[in-house]
Every structure is written in structure tokens, then in C-alpha cells.
Structure 1
């Protein structure tokens, strides 16, 4: 679920706002429930949480708006008013919800569900200051910013007037505010402050250094510091609670202290919860399936833009993390693959290859016990990088050994192995490799971050040299490539290779003669933004058994037919995708499922009739409402309808607006918001009727909001 940002306890339920959605823990049942975008959250990065007087939960996200969880209905209701804002803190006061964000605070009226006012300047503090904390105490609203504290009387007629606010700027950065009984506390730069209601000014409670979170334990204030957790015994008298772990936030409700860490929930003063069984990060990179159906995921991309977390394993019930603490030789996992004996191979960015055998014992291959070699620029013989691993149809493992060459091994422990040097594969010394693909014609395709794509033929003798051939496809070879930065490559058809770059997707048909070494391009098809891609950056390519090619991009998931026809790009707006920033793809042939690893979670999508099947068993329309504006290209998707249905869209007064047809074997249609004359419809409620080939009908309704 990622990092826990805030904790709210309501009786026997603990709610946690995390970087991977909302986590619900039932103290009595000792069970977890996870909520993500797929369950109705507007976004998975949840920064803040609070409960209201009715027992409902409110959650603030990072850029995706505000969400209310209606407990009685067990559903989320989302409000897009705060989109593009970081909702750092929430406080409920009667029907008023104060929303602290990165440009001020807003007053949201919960009973009518709208914003009443926005407050952007607090006295002499800079306008649009980011507010980290907000509180209501003593008839005033209080805010904490990186420039100090500010407060205003709620009886003031105009809080939008900067002069209505008093400030305390010398206290420095304020990260947390807490009302404990009849006292207001603030966590400032170097100390805990306490508001004195008699003197009407801030006093130093105790100099604790940097405090990142305030909470309550056994009826008293606690403070989270880098050195640990401090507990207030009486005014000015604090003690340290022994605690180890990477702590992020503290709870503010009840006698027990619930603690949010980077690994999950823990508690002082109550029974410990069971392990969460989740990944420590919410980013999912290269994936593979083992013979028992377990999913294995590398925790890092090749560019090392996220902290290393080892390898994640999902056994269809829970997640397990394999890192140095559990015996894995390296946490820098960037590639995963299984061999013919179902042993797991992990390519790392520094430590060669880690191999997990069928007895769950880890082994290590590096420059000292294999043909693998370290990087040469700079010269570091023990820094062994393996950026990708692929298994060919003969069971051999091919490894992209960065700055050394292409390595092949017959298994683990390797009996036969061979290093095809940089010179053999057509790369200059010190140049890098990124991804590999092996086609059904046994040709190896090597993607590079600077030098385009390399076609490599081992001559049919992978463990012998002398008969290899290599062809470099770069923008000099053919300018249609668009970029020499190859980010993905895929080949499941002899004579065809799909190439992903940071400037689009390419489908290349070729002819190659091993005897003569002659390589020719038969056809080249480019896909750019103007051809239907929502992002030019291709991160992965995968094929399925339904005749589709799936291209992962930074802007969504693009579906193409094997013949090159671009069908549709799926996004969070028109599909059950969790996030548009897709990092990896894996097709499970046995289950007919496409695993989609994103920058904000992992999705498993059923491929039905060659298209994405919505998770709901009945027909549904999304996004609902459909927002139409000149700057947006949002479409409505009606999914879950019988295959090949005709769909009629009617206005609320019964007039036919548009007639649509689902393709053969597909159970969804999309609508661009126009009528039969091509004009954009007005705002209102619309109905759809989906009729299958046997004449049976499915009905539903949705709303359209047209921005002026």
C-alpha cells in the first residue's frame, strides 16, 4: 500500500491514508481491507483523513481531489473541486470541513457538498503559502505553514481579508497541530509550542528538535522525532518511548497509539496487528510468473529513479518481500525471469544475478564465478549490471550485461555459458543496454538507451563464437525510428518486431537471411501522438493470445491488433486502470489476464474477446458524470454489455441522441459526447439501451456536464 500518511481510529476500526489508497483494519476481526481507485477513490495517493460527526470518512489526495466514504453505503463519493491540489490536512467542525492544501485552506460545506470560501493569504505570511496543518480550537481556525503560524476568529465576517489573521512567524516551519483536551499544541522547527489561552500567545512547551507528527497515547500528547517518540507526562515533562522502525505518522484517537510506518501499521497499548502482507512501494516494474502461478516483480526500473526494495512475490493471497534482510544478494532488482526448472533469476543494478532455486535458497552469479563482467566506464570490475533477462525456446537464459555484452547461460548452475562482447553485438565500449526480446525465429533484439535497436543472430550456436551477425537499427539506419532511446522491444511473430522509444511506437516487418546475412525492411509503421497515442514514451510492449499487442505508455494503455491497427488507448477515464503512468505489462496465458504495473499500483485485467473487460458483472457507464470541455478528449465507456450489442443513447425526454455498435466479440462501446449530427450535447441526464443479437436489452443512465 505504500507509506502511511495519516491514521484515524473510529471505535474498533483503524483507517489509514496511504500512498497506495486507503487501508481499513478491523481490530476485532484482525483483518485488512484495501481501497484504491478501482474501488471508487479518485486517486491512490491519499495524504489526509478525518471523520465527521456522522461517522463518515473524508480523504484528501495528492492532485485527485476530495473523497467521502459513506460508511452506511460502503462507497466512496468524490469531489473534483480540489483537483491539482495537495490536500495535506483535514479538520471537521460541525458541517464545516477545513481543507489544508498547497496554496492555502478552503472551507467546504459538507451538508451541501460545495466550497464556500478559499483563504489564500494569512496576515503577513506570503500569499499562497502551503499549509501543512489546520485545527479548530477556541473559536478560531489555526494553520501551520513553512513560514510560521496563523490564526483567525471564526466570528470574523471576512476571513479572506489578510488582516483578519494574526501570525507568529519566528517559530519557523510548522508541520503538525493537535488539540488535546483544552490545549492546542504545534510542532515547530525546533520545539513543541503550546497556546496559552490566558496570555493569548504561544509558549515553548519543550525543545525537542524537529518533530514531524503529533499524536495521543494514553490520554497524553506524543511527538514523532527522528530520534524516536516522545511522550508528555506533564507540562514541560517529557520522556522517550523506546521504539524502533521507520515511522511516518501517529494516531490521535483512543488510548492506544497507532503508528504508521513505511512497512504498515503497528501499535502501542493494544494487540499487534498481523503483517499487512503488502509491498513496501507502490511502483511495479518488470514482472514474471513462476510455474505455481506466483507473480514476481522487480522493485526498480533501469534508471534507478526509486529506492531499491528487492523483489516482490504475490502468491495470489498476499505479498512477500525478498531483500537483503531475507537473504537476497541484492536489493537493486531491475529484471526477473524464470528458467526451465522454475528457478527465479533476478538481474540487479550492481551485483550481477541472484538465483532463487526450487528449495528457496538464494545463489549469486557475478564476475568472480561466471562470464559476467563489470562496467568499464568508469572502470569498476565488481560493479556488474544485468538490465534484462530473457529465456529462449531452448531453455537458455540471455542476459543484458551492461557495458560488457550479451551473455547466454544454459541454466543454474551454468554448465555452458558465453559472453558476446560489445564489439560482437555492434556496441562501442562503455555503451549501455536496456531491454531484450527473443523472436520465434531465435533472433535476439537488444534495446539501448542511446544507440537504437540491435538485431543479433548467434548463428544457431549460442555457446560458440565466430558465426554471429549483428545489425544496428538507429535513426541513421532509418529516420522513421524517431529516437535512438529504445525503451521497449517485443517480437512474437517471425519477421515482425515492435520497437518502443521515448518518441513513439514502431511496427517493423523485416526479411533476414542467415546464410547471407542480408537484412531488409519490408514495411515500417509509426505510431505517434497524431496516430492515437496519448504519450510518446513507450515503457513496455506485450502480446496476448487474442491477437492483440499492448503498448504501455506514460499516458495510458494502447491496444493494437497484430496487423498494426490501433484500436484504443485506455486510461483511468475510460477503463478500470489504476493509473495512466504504466511501467510494465505481463500476459498470463493460462488465465487470459493482463497484469498492468503502474506508478501507482498494480492492476489485473481480464482480456475478453480481445478487449478489456470491466470488473463489474453488469453494464456500467464511466466516467459518470461525463465532463465535456473544449480542452478535454474524455469519452464515455459503456461496458459489461452483451457481445456485439447495438447501443442507443436517449435524452431524458426520450429523443434518440446517438446509435452505437459494439464490435464482434467485444462487450463495450465508447461515445464522444456528440449526437448523430456531430454536435456536442448539452448538460443533462441520458439513458442508454444495449440490445444483443437475440433481442435482449440492458439499460442504464448517466449524466453529462458540459463546461462552458
Structure 2
């Protein structure tokens, strides 16, 4: 997610087992795989009650809790409260809203309103025009302007203060013509008897006994449609009145529902009779299973849906769920398709993978497979590359190499390199790279082999390598190479090797993957020591404490 993560989190691409390539067709109701992350007061939250969620335009995720405002960058939580943040007068926050100018507004349980502008907090009370009778509710007008509601009346922010706005109206169109990247939460207020929202560009009130609104504010989607969740189902506002959306209750997979904010189209989160959580696309009426039950959920009672009090979808497709007693959940969709024997494979483990210039995927296992157009083709290695595939490479001419020595020509594999070499001494070949001069470099257990103009030269630690067992070789972006081995990191340029080991600050000696990002930083994946970043001569190490799922990268 673009939650303003550190730059390392934006550039990492993890090498994983092959389990997915193609998406599945959706039906009216489908199941989907989600991976859940769960945070409580034990691992980062100030307390376990999450009242509202919003992702601001700078990528951060903000939470409203009863122990301060919380900002999440994808790795760490930062808490802003009255003890550490000037301008905050109470810790008990209830609602969040980001206006069109990028200011974050937060309502409190006591009726105060806090604004974050240019990184600074300012709190407003009745002396600044804030309604004097809490609770105070916040929301938008459909054009990104903040409105407040209290005791059946409206206030708007203008000229540096809040002003009464019962007569506030938008020009014709009601904001539907305004381009928006995500559904806007509109103002909604209720005292349990009457309800009021800013719908269709003007205040609109109704008796709560006729239409009993549920949790959350109305949402204005990208097409200008306004949605509201009620006890009677999901309603829409059109032609100056609230009316049922026409979505049958059975298609919502459970009632009541919570509307999911943050996305261009509106979704509804519902809980089935068995406690299962479902997500429904309101425009297409497609539902998918999120989970039979949220993991570690203890509170499924009260004014919640399956234990969820607020739901929010970020710009990266994650679903965030806030509860009143069980903290924060993140549901990450796993758009994976598994390929196994029924799809034409005859193995359970795949290591080297290569996408060629034509878009076909080559897979190394006990043999070589090509996946193209959804069809697997198997290539028998008997008499050539054998039954143990360690490396796949496509050179600039478009020719495929297997295990460093075998080249594909006219649909068959032939010797690509001279047999007049001590291949047994080199042993298994793990990686292959072509440098800018056209030389082929092979990394193997017994060192590195360079093949240039038919001349083979072998390099080992005696020549300056950090380790003989070389797992990865990549271009350095100029005219050199980076080499990773079980021993350390090596750079080659102009006939000279320079090496780094753990003694020089390298995060780990077992280097097995390398990646050079657009900023020129080198990312170093290790077998068991986490992730390293090398920039301007300095190493930085990241581990599971910094957000990695595992120490092996």
C-alpha cells in the first residue's frame, strides 16, 4: 500500500514460489483468499478501539481512537495526543475527514474539532463557532468542503471559523460533476429520533423510524451516486428522496451492512448468519467472502458487523477493518491461481523462473516447462540439461539458456559452450548474466566463469570474489557487475574486483538475490539475515522488526 512507506518498501520485489499467474472469473457470489494482519495495543496501537479510518493524499493511513490520532506508514504507528502534540486538547477522537485542500479534520467525543494543516494541529471549540451541543458529526458536501452537524443544524468552515449553514446549498449538479478518486463521506447526523444528511447538494432530513440509518456516513461515489446503509437495506438518494437501491438482501450476503469508504466505487461489508464476512460491489452486485470469521476476534456484539465498526479500502486494494475492542485488521486480497498436476505440471517445487521477450514463462524443476496462452509445454532434458534445473537465462539475441551450458536452437537444446573446460570443478551453475560488452558470466558453486569471444576465464576468491558459491549476478547500470555469493558481495569493473563481507557492514554473508532500483541503491537479499540496502557506500539492514515477513529474502 502507498502508506508513505520508507523508500525500501516501494522497491522490493520478493522472489517466491510459483503459485499464480491468472485471475479467476467472478460470479454473483464468489470466495476470495485474503491474508490478514492484526494490530492491537500489544503491537503498536495505543488502545483497541478504532472509530474511523482514512488514507490521506500523502499515502498515510490515519485512525481515530479514544487514545489519540494514529498515523500508520505501512510499518510503524505514530500516535499524536495531547501529551505529545501541541494543538490537541483531548485524546478521544470519533470521526475523520480530509478536505479538498488536504487538511485532516477530526471530531472528538466532547464536541471539539481538530484540524491538521501543514503538519500542525489546531483544535476548535464553541469559541470558534463549533456547535455547542455534542456530539458533533463531520462529513463533506460532495465537493470536498467540510460540514459539521449537531442538534439538527449545519455548520461550515469559512473565513477561518465555523459558521451556521442551515441554508447552505450547492449549485445545480450537487457535486456529481466533480472528478473524485474515492467516494466522499457526506455529512450525516442523527439523535436516534430524527436524521439529517447533506445529500444531493443540500440538507435533507427524515424520521429515523421510517428509515433507520446504520453505521457510517453516506458515500458519494465517482459516478455521483449517493449510497446509505440502513436497517432496511442499502438505500440510494436520487430525485430528492431516499429510496431502496433494489439490491436484494440475499445478494448482500447478510444484514446489516457497513459501507466501505476510500474507493471510487462503493462496497458494502456484511455479516452472514454464521458470522462470515462478505464484501459486495454495489454497482455490479457481486459478493465475495472475506473470512468465515475475523481471526482473534472476541467482540461480535453491539452495533457492529461481524465485530467490525468501520471499514475502509485503501488505494492499493487492501481492506482495513476497525473494531471497538479488537483493534485493527488489514485484509489483503490474494489474487492467486494454483497450478499443479491437473493443469499439466509434474512437479511440486519450482525454483528458476524466466519470462522471455514474447511473454512466455519458463519454469525450471525436474524438467523445463513453458507456460504460454494458458498451456504448459514440457521439454525433456535427457541427453542435454538433465533433470535438475538450476538456472534459466535469455540472452540479447533471444536465445534461451538452461543450466548455463545448454542453448535452445530451432526447438532443441544443444551445447552452447565448449566442452573443453573443467565443468566438474565449476559444479552447479546458479545464475547467468550478459554484460554490456557481450560477455557471458556464469555463477556457480566453484566460482564465476566469464565467456568472452570464445575465451573462458574462471574467477574465485583468490581473484577477489567475496565467496566462490555465487548465487546471483546483475548489471550495475554502467559497465560493471554486482555479484552475490555465500561469502558476501562483490563488484566487478574494469578488470577489478571489490568485495564486502559482514566485517564491512554487509547485513549477512549468504547473499542470494540482488536488485538495483531507479535511485541507484542496491538491495541485497540474504538467506537468513534479512534485507540490506547499499547506497553511497553505506549499508542499512532491515529485518522482521522493520516489517519483513521473514529473514530470508
| TM-score category of the 2 structures, normalised to the smaller one | 0.3 to 0.5
Structure-2-length-normalised TM-score: 0.38
Structure-1-length-normalised TM-score: 0.31
